[in-house]
Chain A
């Protein structure tokens, strides 16, 4: 329905999770839990970024499209324009 660019989400999310995972550790206050919090930040960034990346890469070049019921086509054809 709308043209989605590929580059823009890549840049946004890479920067976002990169900030959390790479820049965030520098701002963790000193204390007994500093190591654990840094580990948590980096692990979260890696896991969430990877998961999102897999989702977007899987849809980048679809080899087949969705099969819709005729009722759906009737309705969505005009709803989503």
Chain B
């Protein structure tokens, strides 16, 4: 069988890596991705390990890289993906990379600082010129004032003599627009009567140097008289963080200043352009260096982390590492070690060692089987070398989905969608799509493909295509025969809205439809009576078959782990219990289908009553037996099944106890026996056997705790026996969901599509309305029946596998082999 039957053989290897070649060897192993290192320094804290210094340096480099990445992103440039194979650089290169990176980072910081300073300066110049350019109306000329004008009398009568400072002074500046109103108010309150303030919005918007947003500044011109007022004004403007510029009274002088400013700002803008050019140059260098550097440093850090897990040998000349490796990959491992260590002139060695721990599970999958393996692993990764349910899941999962989803039309749509994804799977646009929902569907394209395919098949069997039945073969029911023989005249028919075809009448039922459900049932009003009976029995048959298959798979586990006693003491009782009770139920169903003909229809035995009476050891007089001797057979089966329960409960613990006592009481031949004991103790150690609650086998040193073993076996027995009943009933969801799907589909057709098809009226109008009706039908089919019902059936099929099927044989408490690899960075 292929390697998917059970996980591969994985062994523990011990690697001796000479110090000179250790880095190169581990780097090569990382490229190949073969082994999973075990941490040999668990007791050592992270700070005390040998290569912590190197890891620190790598981390600092990574911080610088992050800073550079941020700068590149802020400038709106993209980092190109790394090209080619980039192995981890040797340790001596780290210094070079570090220096280069530091230099670039420092340069970048300097240039950006300069750039910022220049922009701030430019902003100031621009503000100044805006303030000067602003026309606040004719400024009050200095000569006009002789004192306070007659319109405004100061609040306080002047005490001192004639005023000393009658000159009008000016304060010009700019303030942020949101503070302008407050400034104006405060000025008026504080210095009212002694100043004239004029606020105007600047003509153009200036870019804020820090945020880059355009801001409209409010320029103001305050003319005041009095030194104290001047001081007050200055304090107030300081408080509001206004920019104050010198305001010259003469127009010509202001003009001159303005020209000067403009010249200065032009020069500054040139310098700014040069700086920006240099900045983009530096960013270009960063773009070149960064992708490669990121990958290399990441790999280097990973190698050092792996090296930290190795222990140093006593002679300090080589590192000792322990790793899990698949037996198949051992030659490749040894070759890789040979190659990478030969460059340094030394040789690295690897050899197998035995281990008592459970090795990790490794199952190699291709892109088709990967999705099925992943849904098995989602429940639990299998224990080492236990039977893997995935190869059977490839078919049974889509099949059970299809039983719940069966419709030719819907199945075909699903199949075509999946086919489109599969055919386009190699296109790069499809693979690199970021949408998570699309990635989910794309990852399960093979799953959807098989699900659609099986749905088409079950759709044909259910005879449903968008809820319509098809007459591929002519129906096996003859309405004409019934009508003729029962004298159904037109008058008779008009009085009876519903009439039933009687299979007892000759010529009415002409034989079972050869492929699927007869199409006449889709015309019948009592079609649910027939379909419910059919689907319920189908669910029970499929369920019992699936579960029996699960129990049989456990046989492979028992044989592989050399626990032959479990074949007799567990598998046999389980099978007898399951098949004796529920296999018998299946037998009753099939027997009734085959042997109870329509002539006995009135007195047809009820399987349900028979089954209930079987357990209660009673009988109903009105219920005919299906075959002679039925009661005896049923009693025997129930007694046999009940007898299996103590066998299941006590068999294995007593056997183990007996074996342990035997090994304890005969010490000398125990050498041979102990070896066997130890062998099988390996197999049934916790977590290895298929029933992971199994206690340790009595080895020479092991204690046999009878209570623990008994308790585990009791739990298993109860779980199995009660589970048989509940799990069989659980399979009835196959009936429930297929009924729901059929009914939804029927309702959608009857309420939407048929309304459109039955419309009468002008051809033109009807056809336009039909287009709209079909659009509604299509959208609802996809949204409700494909997406919603599809997800629902997917979920229930998954549950049936995870719980009802896998709890018969699968433990799922292992862990995956996660090899040391750089693969994540490479993609």
Taking beta carbons and an 8 Å cutoff, which residues of A are in contact with B? Answer: 1-6, 8-9, 32-36, 38-40, 43-44, 47-48, 50-52, 54-70, 72-74, 76-78, 80-81
Taken together as a complex, chains A and B put the C-alpha atoms of A9 and B336 apart, in Å, by 60
Name B390's closest neighbour in chain A (CB-CB). A36
A60/B475 in contact, CB under 8 A: no
Taken together as a complex, chains A and B put the C-alpha atoms of A68 and B403 apart, in Å, by 27
Name B520's closest neighbour in chain A (CB-CB). A66
A65/B517 in contact, CB under 8 A: no
- Majority DSSP secondary structure for residues of A touching B: helix
Interface 1/0 per residue, B590-614 and A, CB below 8 Å? 1001111110010010000000000
> Shortest CB–CB separation between residue A75 and chain B, in angstroms?
9
Taken together as a complex, chains A and B put the C-alpha atoms of A60 and B511 apart, in Å, by 7
B119 within 8 A of A: no
A9/B480 in contact, CB under 8 A: no
Residues from chain A with Cβ under 8 Å of B475 in the complex: 1-2, 80
Name B406's closest neighbour in chain A (CB-CB). A51
Given contacts A32-B3, A61-B597, A65-B500, contact A43 B479 (CB under 8 A): no
| Tally of contacts, chain A with chain B, CB under 8 A | 195
Set A43, A54, A72: member contacting B541, Cβ < 8 A: A54
> Shortest CB–CB separation between residue B649 and chain A, in angstroms?
33
8 chain-A/chain-B pairs, Cβ below 8 angstroms: A4-B510, A35-B5, A36-B391, A39-B391, A43-B392, A55-B538, A73-B488, A73-B493
Name B604's closest neighbour in chain A (CB-CB). A63
B396 within 8 A of A: yes
Residues from chain A with Cβ under 8 Å of B525 in the complex: 67-69
A64/B4 in contact, CB under 8 A: no
B542 within 8 A of A: yes
Q: Which residues between 505 and 535 of chain B lie within 8 Å of chain A, taking CB atoms?
A: 508-518, 520-521, 523-527, 529-530, 533-534
Given contacts A5-B511, A58-B538, contact A70 B498 (CB under 8 A): yes
B395 within 8 A of A: yes
A55/B517 in contact, CB under 8 A: yes
B391/A35 in contact, CB under 8 A: yes
B2/A58 in contact, CB under 8 A: no
Residues from chain B with Cβ under 8 Å of A39 in the complex: 1-2, 391-392, 394-395
Name A59's closest neighbour in chain B (CB-CB). B512
B541/A50 in contact, CB under 8 A: yes
Residues from chain B with Cβ under 8 Å of A78 in the complex: 480
Residues from chain A with Cβ under 8 Å of B520 in the complex: 66, 68
B508/A65 in contact, CB under 8 A: yes
A43/B534 in contact, CB under 8 A: no
Taken together as a complex, chains A and B put the C-alpha atoms of A72 and B520 apart, in Å, by 10
Name B463's closest neighbour in chain A (CB-CB). A55
> Shortest CB–CB separation between residue B552 and chain A, in angstroms?
13
A59/B513 in contact, CB under 8 A: yes
B457 within 8 A of A: yes
Name B542's closest neighbour in chain A (CB-CB). A50
B394/A1 in contact, CB under 8 A: no
B596/A2 in contact, CB under 8 A: no
A35/B394 in contact, CB under 8 A: no
Set B3, B498, B515, B529: member contacting A68, Cβ < 8 A: B498
A67/B498 in contact, CB under 8 A: yes
A4/B512 in contact, CB under 8 A: yes
B545 within 8 A of A: yes
Residues from chain A with Cβ under 8 Å of B498 in the complex: 67-70
Taking beta carbons and an 8 Å cutoff, which residues of B are in contact with A? Answer: 1-5, 366, 369, 391-392, 394-396, 399, 403, 457-458, 461, 473-480, 482-483, 488, 490, 493-494, 496-503, 508-518, 520-521, 523-527, 529-530, 533-534, 537-538, 541-542, 545, 590, 593-598, 601, 604
A55/B461 in contact, CB under 8 A: yes
Residues from chain B with Cβ under 8 Å of A40 in the complex: 391, 394-395
> Shortest CB–CB separation between residue B395 and chain A, in angstroms?
4
Given contacts A4-B473, A73-B483, contact A44 B514 (CB under 8 A): no
B499/A73 in contact, CB under 8 A: yes
Which 8 pairs show the lowest CB-CB distances between chains A and B?
A35-B2, A4-B511, A66-B524, A65-B501, A43-B395, A35-B1, A9-B514, A59-B512
> Shortest CB–CB separation between residue B478 and chain A, in angstroms?
5
> Shortest CB–CB separation between residue B696 and chain A, in angstroms?
33
A67/B541 in contact, CB under 8 A: no
A77/B598 in contact, CB under 8 A: no
Set A51, A57, A64: member contacting B403, Cβ < 8 A: A51
Taken together as a complex, chains A and B put the C-alpha atoms of A58 and B509 apart, in Å, by 14
Given contacts A52-B461, A66-B501, contact A47 B395 (CB under 8 A): yes
Taken together as a complex, chains A and B put the C-alpha atoms of A46 and B515 apart, in Å, by 16
Taken together as a complex, chains A and B put the C-alpha atoms of A25 and B514 apart, in Å, by 27
A6/B503 in contact, CB under 8 A: no
B399/A68 in contact, CB under 8 A: no
Taken together as a complex, chains A and B put the C-alpha atoms of A44 and B594 apart, in Å, by 25
A63/B601 in contact, CB under 8 A: yes
Taken together as a complex, chains A and B put the C-alpha atoms of A76 and B216 apart, in Å, by 84
> Shortest CB–CB separation between residue A66 and chain B, in angstroms?
3
> Shortest CB–CB separation between residue A11 and chain B, in angstroms?
11
Given contacts A35-B1, A69-B497, A80-B474, contact A54 B502 (CB under 8 A): no
Taken together as a complex, chains A and B put the C-alpha atoms of A58 and B534 apart, in Å, by 6
Residues from chain B with Cβ under 8 Å of A60 in the complex: 512, 593-594
Taken together as a complex, chains A and B put the C-alpha atoms of A58 and B590 apart, in Å, by 8
A63/B512 in contact, CB under 8 A: no
Taken together as a complex, chains A and B put the C-alpha atoms of A66 and B340 apart, in Å, by 79
Name A56's closest neighbour in chain B (CB-CB). B512
Taken together as a complex, chains A and B put the C-alpha atoms of A45 and B498 apart, in Å, by 41
B517/A59 in contact, CB under 8 A: yes
A55/B479 in contact, CB under 8 A: no
Taken together as a complex, chains A and B put the C-alpha atoms of A80 and B511 apart, in Å, by 16
Name B492's closest neighbour in chain A (CB-CB). A70
B458/A51 in contact, CB under 8 A: yes
Residues from chain B with Cβ under 8 Å of A56 in the complex: 512-514
> Shortest CB–CB separation between residue B556 and chain A, in angstroms?
13
B510/A1 in contact, CB under 8 A: yes
Name A79's closest neighbour in chain B (CB-CB). B479
Most chain B beta-carbon neighbours within 10 Å: one of A48, A64, A72, A80? A64
> Shortest CB–CB separation between residue B593 and chain A, in angstroms?
4
A66/B526 in contact, CB under 8 A: yes
B369/A67 in contact, CB under 8 A: no
> Shortest CB–CB separation between residue A34 and chain B, in angstroms?
6
A70/B494 in contact, CB under 8 A: yes
Taken together as a complex, chains A and B put the C-alpha atoms of A55 and B403 apart, in Å, by 12
Residues from chain B with Cβ under 8 Å of A81 in the complex: 480
> Shortest CB–CB separation between residue A2 and chain B, in angstroms?
4
> Shortest CB–CB separation between residue A74 and chain B, in angstroms?
6
Taken together as a complex, chains A and B put the C-alpha atoms of A8 and B511 apart, in Å, by 11
B512/A6 in contact, CB under 8 A: yes
Residues from chain B with Cβ under 8 Å of A62 in the complex: 503, 509, 530, 598
Given contacts A43-B395, A67-B526, A69-B498, contact A2 B2 (CB under 8 A): no
B476/A59 in contact, CB under 8 A: yes
A1/B5 in contact, CB under 8 A: no
Taken together as a complex, chains A and B put the C-alpha atoms of A81 and B478 apart, in Å, by 8
Taken together as a complex, chains A and B put the C-alpha atoms of A73 and B501 apart, in Å, by 10
> Shortest CB–CB separation between residue A43 and chain B, in angstroms?
4
Most chain B beta-carbon neighbours within 10 Å: one of A40, A47, A48, A57? A47
B534/A68 in contact, CB under 8 A: no
Residues from chain A with Cβ under 8 Å of B593 in the complex: 57-58, 60-61
